[in-house]
Structure formats: structure tokens, C-alpha cells
Amino acid sequence: MTAAPRPPEPPTPVPPAPAPRKAGRNIVVVMLGTLGSRLSGIVRQLLINAFPAALTDAFLLATRVPNTLRELLAEGALVNAFIPVYKSLDTDGRRSLARAFSGVLIAVNLILMALGILAAPWIAGLLVPPGSQISFELVVYMTRLLVPFLMLISLSAIAMGLLNADEHFRESSFAPVAFNIASIAILLLLPHSGTWLALGWLIGGLAQLLVQLPSLNRFGLLPTPALATHPAMRRVLTNMAPFTLTAGARQILNFYVQRLLSSGQYPLGTVTGYNNAETLFTLANGLFVVSPALAYFPRLSQNAADRDWASFRTLTLQALRLVTFLAAPTSALLVALSGQAVSIFNLSHALDASKFRAGSGILEGWALALVPWAVNTILLRTFYARERVREAVTVSAVGFVAEVLLYRVLTPAFGYFGFGLATTITGTVMSAVLFMMYRRRIGFALTPFMLHLARVLPIAAVAGLVAWRVAAFLPAPGRFLPGMLGLVVAGGAGGAVYLALAAALRLPELQGLMSRVRRR
């Protein structure tokens, strides 16, 4: 069996991998932080929905610009490219790399901010096709207001990456909550105008950065940015380059979707409905998939740095079992209760049919994709941890291109549901390809994982059916109170059935989660 090659590094002392008990606490802490972030994000999205649809559609299109640049440059690329290199260095090397990397990132951000402000009309033209009901001038104006968000979120991502690399998850996991709380305060206290809607986003980004600085200083991780070089910088940039290309392909997909939804083909309010569905899917995916993956990633990186491939394989299987155990019932319940879920964004007595139909249809399809994308999330991080970035991003880029093509094929036939169906198909195929590549490099016993899925998926389907039947006896969704009633009663019934069946099958993931929660 051949270990995955990596650039040679002199042997340096590295901290030992955390004990299993600490690792379990890390997962719980990250999940709690994510839960707080996503729930407060739902409150923020609920308040945004109180604005006129013409304003919210323009605002949500404009947020795509800084969010695109953020993913291309900051959060995703930093975590997946920076942490494996950072974990392979000694203490002095880590500090000097943090200084050099943060300095370069700030310089690049300044250039991109200037370009973003100048190119705002061109960017808005990509998002708002001719004949759209959305105001082109309003999108341009909000885009220019939101571009500085990139600098704030990039610095926040540096802080989060440094804290996560040293496994200080408590301090970084709750930073997004500060973003949402600050944004909510602006939405509640200041006039309902496009200017304050955009500025609330910026103030939230500033809050997310500021709350992490005391922890960085306390742990001795606060870097002093400098335009300097470091021997490991080339490895970081080499890892970032293909990841950035993949993230760019995904953002091209997002731009295509936003342009499609803002065209005259769909009614006003569809973009907001799409973002409502995205908020809920992000809640489920962030809590039950990304949070465990984030907690496992530093340990995977440490195993790779130590060439401990037996532990690496064991940890991979453990992570895959956990995320699919959590994602499967969530997927089934969201499919069954998609209408109830998106209803929580409607506080008014009137039903906005376009928002409701778009949100429920898109969420129902996306929910099916939760399990295959949970598998992808873990497998991709195993490649990043081994610095096999090029292989992983090649699969991802091909997958995103295929997803765009499937959008064009499936949405005319299946409507809003076609978005999620395309994502489910590409996610399943990508999972299969990543498994083959993983096994060829370091080996992997696939049978135990498939047996795990054979038990988890059927009981999740039963839970979804129970929720669907219970919801049939409750008030029709469309507004906040019926939506919440359906989620609590029908969702609670389905969740209880899943937990009971998991306990009857003695699934170790349930026992492990319960023990971790008790230790909290």
C-alpha cells in the first residue's frame, strides 16, 4: 500500500492528536455553534422577508457578489488549503506562516474590493437579465455597498482558521452568531431601506471578526500581517489554486441559477423563495454535515502529517458514519415537510404564493441531496488533508459542470424540484468517484459503510413517512404558525420514530452522540 505523496518537509514536532473524548466534545461544540448560527440566520432571513419583494430580490442578488469572492478567496480555500500545511509546521513556523499569509490575503482583498466597486454594473448585468422585474440600478447600488464585506469576512476566516487549526472550536463556532445578531439589530432598529439592508450585512461581518480577536490574543495566535515570504507559502498557494478554480465553477453555477430565477420566466419573489430554501438547507447541512467535518478535519490533517494511514482510514469511516446517521433523517423530514419549513418565513396573514412555491419546491429537491453531499463533504476533506487537492477539485469541477447541464435538462420537466434532483444525481456520482480514488491511494473497507447505510436509510424513510402522514392532519402550511406546528408535531413524531428505530438497532452513532451530550 502506497502512501499519498506530498512535498518533503523536515521533521518537526507537532502537537499530539486529541484524545477521543476531546474530539467528541469538539463535535458537540461545533454543532451547537452552528445551530446557534443557523437559527439566528433564520431569524435574520425572516426579517428580510418583511421587506418588499422587489427590495429583497435585489439585495439577495447583490449578496452573491461578496459571497462568491469570499468562497473563492477566504473561507473554503483557507480552511482546506491552509490548515494541512499549518499543522505540519512547528510553533515558530506556524506563527510566521500566519503573518505572511494574512498579509498577502489583505493585499489581494484590497485590489478585489476596488475592482468590485468599479465593475458593479457589469456584475449586475450578469445577475439581472434584460426584461427582469428586478431593478438593475438597485442591484448595482447594493453591490457597491456590499463589496467591502469581502475584507471583513476574509479577516474573520483567517481568525477562524487559526483557531480551528489549534482546535479552539468554541471561540470560532459562535462567531457567525455575532454576525446574525448584529444584522438583526440593524434590521429591527433602523429604517427599512436598501441602504440599511446592505449596511446591516457589513456591520454583521465586522462583528464576526471582532468577537474572535480576544480569543486569538489569549491563545497567542493573533498574527501581525506582513507582506513577507515563507517557505510553506508556496504549498498553501498551490493547494488554494485548484480549490479556487473549483469554487469558481460552483459560483458560475450559482450565477446561472440567479440569472435564471431573476428572468421573466419566474414571478417576482422567486429569488427570495430560493434564498429561503437555501437558508434552511444551509441550516441542515451546516449543523449535521459541515460541523462534524470541521471538527474532524484537523485530526485528519494531523494523521496525514504523521503518515498514520491506519488511523486516517478509521477516522474517515467514523466521520462518514456519523454524518450520514445525522443527514439521513434530516433529508427525509425535509422532503416530507418542505412546505412547513419554508412557511416559517411568512409572518403576515397573506400568503405570497410565488415565494412559497419556489421555496418549498426547491427545498424538497435539495433535501434528497443531503446524504450524497454529506459523503462528498467528508471525502473531499480527506483529500485536502493529504494535500491531494488537484484530484479532489477535478472531480468537483466536473461535477459542477454536469450539475449545470442537468439543470437545463431537468428544470423544464420537473420545475423547482429539478434543481435538487440535479444536485442529488451529481452528488451520488461524485461520491462513487471519490470513493474509488480514495481506495486506490490508501485503501478503504467499503462494506462496513454500505452495511451502515443499509440500516440508516430505511429507518430514515420510515421517519419521513410518519412525518408526512401526521402533517396531513394538521393545518395547511403557508404561514408561520401552521408551519411551526407542522415542524414541531409532525417533525417531532418522525424524529422520535427514527431515534427509537436507531436505538432498537443499537446504532453506535446514537450511543456516541448521547454520551457526548451527557459529557457536555
* 11 vs 112, more confident: 112
**3-class DSSP state of 499:** helix
Residue 131 above 90 pLDDT? no
- CA-to-CA distance for 347 and 479, rounded, in angstroms? 6
The answer as to whether 13 is a domain residue is no
Are both 196 and 329 inside the same structural domain? no
Are both 214 and 292 inside the same structural domain? no
Residue 7 above 60 pLDDT? no
- CA-to-CA distance for 479 and 218, rounded, in angstroms? 46
Digit-coded pLDDT (tens) for 298-321: 889 888 988 899 999 999 999 999
Are both 245 and 308 inside the same structural domain? no
The answer as to whether 257 is a domain residue is no
Among 251, 285, 313, which residue terminates a domain?
Answer: 251
Confidence label for 4 from pLDDT (cuts 50, 70 and 90): very low
Digit-coded pLDDT (tens) for 335-375: 999 999 999 888 776 667 778 888 888 899 889 999 999 99
Is-contact 243 81, C-beta < 8 A? Answer: yes
Instruction: Dump the DSSP string for 32-99.
Output: HHHHHHHHHHHHHHHHHTTS-HHHHHHHHHHHHHHHHHHHHHSHHHHHHHHHHHHHTS-HHHHHHHHH
Q: What does the buried/exposed string (b/e) look like for 416-436 if buried means 16 or more CB atoms within 10 Å of the residue's CB? A: bbbbbbbbbbbbbebbebbbe
- CA-to-CA distance for 2 and 260, rounded, in angstroms? 46
Are both 296 and 224 inside the same structural domain? no
The answer as to whether 223 is a domain residue is yes
* 392 vs 512, more confident: 392
The total domain count for the chain is 2
Residues 405-430: what's their mean pLDDT?
87
Among 199, 218, 251, which residue terminates a domain?
Answer: 251
Residue 112 above 90 pLDDT? no
- CA-to-CA distance for 266 and 283, rounded, in angstroms? 26
Residue 378 above 90 pLDDT? yes
**pTM of the full structure:** 0.70
Residues 37-53: what's their mean pLDDT?
81
Q: Give the domain extent around 197.
A: 49-251
pLDDT score of 68: 67
Are both 197 and 290 inside the same structural domain? no
- CA-to-CA distance for 3 and 489, rounded, in angstroms? 50
- CA-to-CA distance for 487 and 343, rounded, in angstroms? 10
Residue 290's nearest CA partner among 463, 76, 512, 513 is 76
Give the three cell numbers for residue 27. Answer: 463535535
Are both 382 and 494 inside the same structural domain? yes
* Residue 106 CA neighbour count, 13 Å, CB half: 16
Are both 229 and 132 inside the same structural domain? yes
129, burial (CB in 10 Å: exposed 0-12, middle 13-18, buried 19+): middle
Are both 361 and 232 inside the same structural domain? no
Instruction: Dump the DSSP string for 194-249.
Output: HHHHHHHHHHHHHHHHHTTHHHHHHTT----------TTHHHHHHHHHHHHHHHHH
Are both 211 and 273 inside the same structural domain? no
Mean pLDDT score of the chain: 82
Among 228, 251, 274, which residue terminates a domain?
Answer: 251
The answer as to whether 508 is a domain residue is yes
Residues 467-489: what's their mean pLDDT?
92
Residue 240's nearest CA partner among 168, 175, 161 is 161
Give the three cell numbers for residue 306. Answer: 504523521
Digit-coded pLDDT (tens) for 189-245: 876 677 888 888 889 889 988 999 988 888 888 888 887 777 888 787 777 766 666
Residues 264-289: what's their mean pLDDT?
81
Are both 80 and 160 inside the same structural domain? yes
The answer as to whether 483 is a domain residue is yes
* 269 vs 445, more confident: 445
